Amino acid sequence: MDRYTSRNEIGQGVLELKPQVGEWAVYPRHNMSEFVVLGESIDLLAAYEDTGLTPEEIIAMKVEYSDTFQAHLNQMCDLKDKRIAELEAENARLNDLVNEIEKILRKGEE
């Protein structure tokens, strides 16, 4: 992968250009035939270049992690649904038990 940026002494992304003024802040370099461009867009490009990954590799990672995340999410939803069913069954069992106890207590009052 070709690299278009470098980092300055304080870690900012730097793009060196021949004399063409763009949208970014432009500062003259040692000689007037080169300029240094700084800005958020250049920092983002430098960060991307720091990864050493191609666009295709980044897209592949996004797809892979998206699929993995979806699988984990589905698994968690299945576990949640199973647990809700277990709790509903336990709640029904406890309601039946309470009803049995109430019947016994009513019989004792008679």
CB 22 within 8 A of CB 16: no
pLDDT computed for residue 1 by the predictor? 66
Shared domain for 109 and 83, answered yes or no, is: yes
For the ranges 13-17, 77-81, 85-89, which has the lowest average pLDDT?
Answer: 13-17
CB 38 within 8 A of CB 13: yes
> For the chain, what is the mean pLDDT?
80
Residue 19: pLDDT over 60: no
Task: Tell me: do 26 and 59 sit in the same domain.
Answer: no
- Check whether residue 48 and residue 76 sit in a common domain: no
Q: Where are the alpha helices (DSSP H) in 1-110?
A: 40-51, 55-109
Query: What percentage of residues in the chain have a pLDDT greater than 90?
Result: 27
110 and 58 fall within a common domain = yes
State both tokens at 37.
């461009």
Same domain, 58 and 108: yes
